[in-house]
């Protein structure tokens, strides 16, 4: 145990895949989204983030797990990944392909838990999950644009409310950020073809 060393933990979440029209892994949009997430996650790691904490939802959260798995090769032993879900048997109602992929992804996490030891019963479990994530992290990174609402609005509003009484930075990856990353990728691709 290190005395006096503060651990840094970041909650990462955002849109579900269907909310931003990503339905397969070959979608160009997904390459841009993953690059934007990778850029920000790399920045977190390089600035000393010890724990990256996400859930298991289809979309952003599962993409984060994939990205982190790759980054562990570049940054071995520099950070850990926790996957926390709101209830027991999370994802059990998904189709076999999605549930199998989820099981595979969570097996790569350094830590996995559910905030409720019961199967889904009520929306209160989701609120308890939000509260847990907010009180067990130091900041948040959301793939979310306030002009393009979706399910992340609930986490974003909860984080804003929490931020009113706590030092809790919230960073958004917005649509403009994705456009910037897409432009950088296009320029890089053009440069590679010019060689």
pLDDT at 62: 98
Asked whether residue 2 is domain-assigned, the answer is: no
CB-based contacts of 79, cutoff 8 Å, min separation 6: 44, 45, 49, 50, 51, 52, 72
Q: Tens of pLDDT along 49-73?
A: 999 999 999 999 999 999 999 999 9
CATH number of the structural domain spanning residue 120: 3.40.50.450
Give residue-wise pLDDT tens across range 118-129: 999 999 999 999
177 found inside a domain: yes
User: Residue 96, SS3?
Assistant: helix
Describe the crossing of helices 28-46 and 175-194 by its angle, rounded to 10 degrees: 100
Residue 11 dihedral angles phi and psi, to the nearest 5°: -90, 125
In which band, very low, low, confident or very high, does the pLDDT at 154 lie, cut at 50, 70 and 90? very high
pLDDT digits (tens, 9 = 90+) for 169-193: 999 999 999 999 999 999 988 877 6
Q: How many domains does the chain have?
A: 1
User: What is the extent of the structural domain holding 112?
Assistant: 9-194
Cβ contacts of 122 within 8 Å, gap of 6 or more:
none
pLDDT in tens, 6-22: 789 999 999 999 999 99
125 located within any domain: yes
């Amino acid at each position: 145990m290190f005395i006096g060393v503060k651990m840094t933990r970041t909650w990462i979440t955002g849109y579900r895949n269907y909310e931003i029209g990503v339905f397969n892994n070959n979608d160009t949009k997904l390459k841009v989204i993953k690059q934007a997430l990778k850029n920000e996650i790399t920045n977190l790691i390089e600035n000393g983030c010890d724990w990256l904490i996400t859930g298991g939802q289809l979309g952003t959260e599962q993409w984060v797990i994939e990205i982190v798995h790759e980054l562990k090769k570049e940054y071995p032993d520099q950070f850990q990944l926790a996957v926390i879900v709101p209830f027991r048997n999370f994802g059990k109602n998904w189709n076999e392909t999605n549930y199998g992929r989820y099981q595979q992804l969570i097996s790569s996490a350094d830590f996995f838990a559910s905030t409720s030891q019961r199967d889904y019963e009520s929306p209160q479990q989701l609120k308890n999950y939000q509260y847990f994530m907010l009180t067990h992290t130091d900041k948040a990174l959301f793939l979310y644009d306030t002009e393009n609402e979706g399910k992340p609005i609930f986490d974003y509003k909860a984080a804003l409310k929490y931020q009113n009484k706590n030092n809790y930075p919230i960073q958004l990856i917005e649509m403009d950020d994705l456009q910037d990353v897409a432009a950088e990728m296009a320029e890089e691709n053009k440069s590679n073809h010019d060689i």
